[in-house]
Amino acid sequence: MPEMTTLHDALVDEIKDLYSLEKQLVKALPKMARKARSEKLRDALESHLEETQNHVSRIEEAFDLLDMTPRAKHCAGIAGIIEEAGDALEEAAEDPVMDAMIIAGGQRAEHYEIGAYGTVVAWAEALELEDLAELMRQTLAEEKAADETLTRLAEEGINAAAVNGAAQTVGAGTKSGSNGRARKR
């Protein structure tokens, strides 16, 4: 491993990590979109896939700004998040519950990306690399917007549908007690 002696070294290392991160997401997002049952969620994931492909291009542009050849450093953090989301996709779940789980996995990835891009922007600013900072700010804004979209979808119906689906399942296995309330058998 190369030694990190300057903030510039750490910045380059983080950009290599982001390059890997975005390439991994380009492969993972289509799987999530195919599994989504909500049309709005599927559309949001497909739209973010297009943005993610642009993020890869932006990172390649960042390497150009640094006079470097694009090279990825395996991002183990996003690999773990993707693996966990993939495990959730294999679960037997009611459609709205699956959609809620997809949103959860997507938001884990978005929060990880927001942290990483925020760091790169701050370091680029500290190093007075304003062109690089501005380029990464664009992606940071898109990651925040994607997170907000997932939150909105969850709050506007997917979570409620998942709760209602669970309530229907519980309701199917209940019997009325003497106080008229349903209780589990």
Residue 110 lies in a domain: yes
**CA–CA distance from 103 to each of 28, 37, 44, 123, 150 (Å)?**
13, 12, 10, 30, 6
Residue closest to 141 by CA, chosen among 161, 121, 124, 169? 121
Residue 182 lies in a domain: no
Residue 28 lies in a domain: yes
pLDDT value at position 2?
62
Residue 116 lies in a domain: yes
| DSSP bridge partners of 175 | 183
pTM for this entry = 0.85
pLDDT per residue over 126-180, tens digit each? 999 999 999 999 999 999 999 999 999 999 999 999 988 654 443 333 333 333 3
- Give the range of the structural domain holding residue 79, as residue numbers without chain letter: 7-168
Count of the separate structural domains present in the chain:
1
CATH of the domain at 107: 1.20.1260.10
Residue 1 lies in a domain: no
